[in-house]
Structure 1
Amino acid sequence: MDIASLGGLIVGIVMMVFGIGIASLGNFVDVSSVLITIMGSLSGVFVSRSIADSINGFKSFGLIFKTIATDPTDTIKNIIRLSNVARKEGLLALEEAAGEIEDVFLKKGIMLVVDGTDPELVRGILDTDLMCMEARHKKNCAFWEKWGELGPAWGMIGTLIGLVNMLKDLSDMATIGPNMAVALLTTLYGSVIANWLCSPVAEKLKANSAAETTLKELTIEGLLSIQAGENPRVIEEKLKSFLPPATREGVSGDEEGGGGEG
C-alpha cells in the first residue's frame, strides 16, 4: 500500500472539511452542481476516447495505492548474479538460474538469450514490449489529464448556467440564492476535481511509469551485456549508472564472484 497517495487524499478531504466547517458542510452540497460539473466533465472525457480506454483509465486509479516493485538495486544484483553464471557455466545455464526470478520481463529476456536469439532481435523484442507498456501508461495518464482539464471548464459552464437562471428572474428573490449557489459551487467542484484528484493521480501514474521504464531499460542493457560476454564487473559498473550516487555502494557482485577473473 502506498501510504503517500492514501494519506494525501485523506488529508485533502480533512482539510477541506475543517476549512469549510462541519456545521457549514450542507451549504457546499448541491445535486445540480454535481451533475453539471462531474457528469458533464466525464461526458467530455468519454467522447474523447474509447469505452475500453475510459474503463482502463478509471481502473488505473487503484494503481496509485499500490507499491510498485521498481527497485533497480535488486534487478542489478540479479543481473550480476546471472552474468557470473553465464561466465562460469555458459549461456545455457541461465535457463535454470532464471527459475528463481519473479520479474517476468527479465525472465523473458533471459529465455531469448538462452535460445540464441540475435542481440539486435533481443533488443527489438524487449524495446517493443517497453514501448507498448509506455503507450498503455500514457493512455491512463491522459484520461486523468483530460478530466482535470475539463473539470474547471465545466465548472465555468455551471457558473454561467446559474447566472443565467438568476438574471432571468430577478423579480423572484427566492430563486437568487439557489441559482447563485449553483453558479459558485460548480466552479468550486471543477477546481477540486482538477487539483485534488485528477492532476495528482496523473502525476503519480507518470512517476510510477517512469520508474518502471527505467527498470526495464536497465534490464535490457544488462541482458545484452551478458549475451555479449562482458565481464561481470564491467556490467555492474555499467548498470550502477542507472542509480543515484548515494545508492551505488549498496550494489555489489563480489559475493557472486563479481571480479569475473578468467
Structure 2
Amino acid sequence: MDLGTVIGLVLILALLAGAMAMGVGIGAYIDIPSVLIVIGGSMGALMIAFKPIQMKKFIKVFMIAIKPPEEDVSELIKKLVAYSSKARKDGLLALEGDANNEENEFLRKGLSMAIDGSEPDTIRNLLEIDMEQTSTRHKSHSSIFSTWAGIAGAFGMIGTLIGLVAMLLNMADPSAIGPSMAVALLTTMYGAIIGNVLGAPVANILNIRNDDEMLIKEIVLTGIMSIQDGDAPRDLEAKLLAYLPPEHRESSI
C-alpha cells in the first residue's frame, strides 16, 4: 500500500471536515441537490465520455492508486543476473524450468521466446508492442480521473448557475433565498473538492504508476536481450543498475 497516497487523502478529508466542524458544523455543508448535480451529473458525463468496459474498471483503477502492484527492482535485477549466469554456464535451454515458474508474465514471455530460439529483433518487437499497448491502456484509465476533475468543476459551475437562477426568481420570498444560495455555493465547493482531491491527483499518481511499470519492463527487456546475446553477468548487472538512481545501485556480484 502506498502510504503517501493514503495519508494524503486522509489528511485532506480530516482537515476539511475539521474546518467545517469548527465553523457552522458539517451538516451545513451537506446538500442533496448539490450532490445530485455534481456527483450524479459528472458520473453521467463520464459514462458518455468513456466506454462501458472502461467505466467498469473505475474502482479497480482507483485502488491501483492506493495499492499499486509491488515489484522489488533490485531483486529483479539480481534474478536477471542469475539467469544470465545460468545461461552462460549451461545454455539458454537450462532456463526452461525457470521460465515456466516465473511469476512476472512479461519476463516469462520474453524468456520463453529466447529459449525457443526466436530472433532478437522479433523478441524486441513483440515485447515493445506489449509495453506500448500496456502503457496506452494505463493512460486511458488515468484519463478517466483527469477528465472527471474537469467535468466535476464544470458541473459545480452549472449548479451555481442553477442556484442563482432559483434565487433571482424567488427574491420576493426571503425563505427561498437561503436554499438557493446553498445550491449555488455548495455545488462549486463539491466540484472543486472532487477535481482537486480525487480527480487530478489520482490521475497524476496513476501516470507515475505507469512510468514505474514501464521502467520495470524496460529493465526486463534489456536483461532478456543481453541474456540472449550471451553478455557477461557483470556487464549485464552494470547495464541494468544504470536504470536505478545512484543511491540504489548495489552490486550483487
TM-score, normalised to structure 1, is 0.92
Q: Deviations over 1:176-199 (max 9, x none)?
A: 000000000000000000011111
Q: Tell me if structure 2 keeps the 8 A contact 1:37–1:190.
A: yes
CA distance in 2, matches of 1:67, 1:209: 10
Shift in Å at residue 203 of structure 1?
1.4
Percent identity between the two aligned chains: 38
Secondary structure of 2:167's counterpart equals helix
Q: Which residue of 1 aligns with 2:31?
A: 30
- Map Cα deviations across residues 112-149 of structure 1 (whole Å, 9 max, x no partner): 10000011110111111111211111111010010011
Quick check: 1:57–1:141 contact (8 Å CA) kept in 2?
Answer: no
Q: Which runs of 5+ in 1 are unaligned?
A: 255-262
Shift, 1:46, TM fit: 1.2
Instruction: Quote the Cα distance in structure 2 between the aligned partners of 1:17 and 1:69.
Output: 32
The corresponding residue for 2:110 is 109
Deviation string, structure 1 residues 207-247 (Cα, Å, up to 9, x no partner): 11110110001100110011011111111111111000011
Q: Distance in 1 between the 2:103 and 2:69 partners?
A: 14
How far is the alpha carbon of 1:67 from its aligned partner?
Answer: 4.0
Q: Contact 1:109–1:126 (CA<8 Å) still a contact in 2? A: yes
The letter for the 2-side match of 1:3 is L
Cα separation, 2, equivalents of 1:49 and 1:99: 37
Query: 1:258 aligns to what?
Result: none
Counterparts of 2:55 and 2:135, CA distance in 1: 17
Unaligned runs of 5+ in 2: none
CA distance in 2, matches of 1:140, 1:67: 14
Aligned length: 252
Counterpart code for 2:16: M
Instruction: Give every structure 1 segment of 4 or more consecutive aligned residues whose post-TM-superposition deviation is greater than 6 Å.
Output: none
1:17 is aligned to 2:26: no
Cα distance in structure 2, aligned partners of 1:232 and 1:71: 19
CA distance in 2, matches of 1:176, 1:108: 65
Superposition TM-score, scaled by structure 2 size? 0.96
* Matches of 2:57 and 2:17, distance apart in 1: 31
Structure 2 counterpart of 1:192: 193
Contact 1:33 1:182 in 2 (8 A): yes
